[in-house]
A and B are shown apart, each in its own frame.
Chain A
Amino acid sequence: MSDPMRIRASVQGDITTVRALVSHDMESGQRKDAAGNTVPAWHIQNINAVVNGKTVMNAYWGPSVSKNPFIQFSFKGAKSGDKIVMSWVDTKGDKRSDEAAIA
């Protein structure tokens, strides 16, 4: 359905910084296709990240976040080798989870 999220997470001192690239069309509902029909809105509404059972990021997105969205966020309390799981849900109810190890 969608391609995997590309997640890069690394720790410096006590702070882990995550940069992720999410694969999703993020249709705003404003665009018209070649035939002139409005393409319906279809976008991620909620995306979050969990490390060691704790939610470290929870975001709500509207239709104006770009296609194939980039996100960067930081948090404390994790260490190299910990696993980060990122998950999203979109307006169609589709969802996806991907995980990566913190470097």
Chain B
Amino acid sequence: MKRRQFINHGTTVLGLAVSAGIIPAGAFAQSATGWNKTAFEAKSLADVVKALGGASATASNDIVLNAPEIAENGAVVRMSFESKMPGTTMLALLVEKNPAAMSASFDVPEGAIANFATNVKMGQTSNVYALAKVGDKYFYAMKEVKVTLGGCGG
């Protein structure tokens, strides 16, 4: 509770400092604790895996990715993904042809189930990957999603 209060208070103070112009707003981009800037800027599955500390990723039928064959609106593409492997500690969603490949990563704390759904923006037709961390190994499932109208504002 104290830590949360500290973070809340600290964030508010820093936010005020930015508003007052004391700290440039750019200094806060990509700064939330634990947010992996290198992973979120990587351009490919291989680079994301390296940025996460892995060596390489292996395709696996135990990773399941549900995504539409064709996304009418690239701005909102619902994806759901899960890992059936016990000991999964993280699941990430990647859209290969987006300016940066990784859209989101989800920790799987103890008691949580490695199954998530969210909406992502896709700039164009692309391979989509669900990437799972199991122990210190990485596994993935891939699906191609065709996009009719790109969702990155281009």
Contacts and interface: CB of A to CB of B under 8 A. Distances in A.
Contacts of B75: 66-67
Contacts of B117: 70-73
Interface in B21-39: 25, 28-36
B36 A60 contact: yes
A72 B14 contact: no
B104 A60 contact: yes
Nearest to A74: B113
Interface centre among B30, B40, B118, B120 (most CB of A within 10 A): B118
Contacts of A93: 11, 14-15, 18, 28, 31
A56 interface: yes
Chief secondary structure at chain B's binding surface? mixed
B98 interface: yes
Contacts of B107: 57-59
A90 B11 CA distance: 10
Contacts of A61: 103-104
Given A57-B109, A59-B104, A92-B15, A64 B153 contact: no
A56 B51 CA distance: 24
Chief secondary structure at chain A's binding surface? strand
A92 B78 contact: no
Contacts of A6: none
Nearest to B13: A93
A92 B111 contact: no
A65 interface: yes
B11 A95 contact: yes
Contact of A73 (B30, B36, B116): B116
A66 B109 contact: no
B44 interface: no
A99 B95 CA distance: 31
Interface of A: 15, 28, 30-32, 39, 41, 45-46, 54-67, 69-77, 89-95
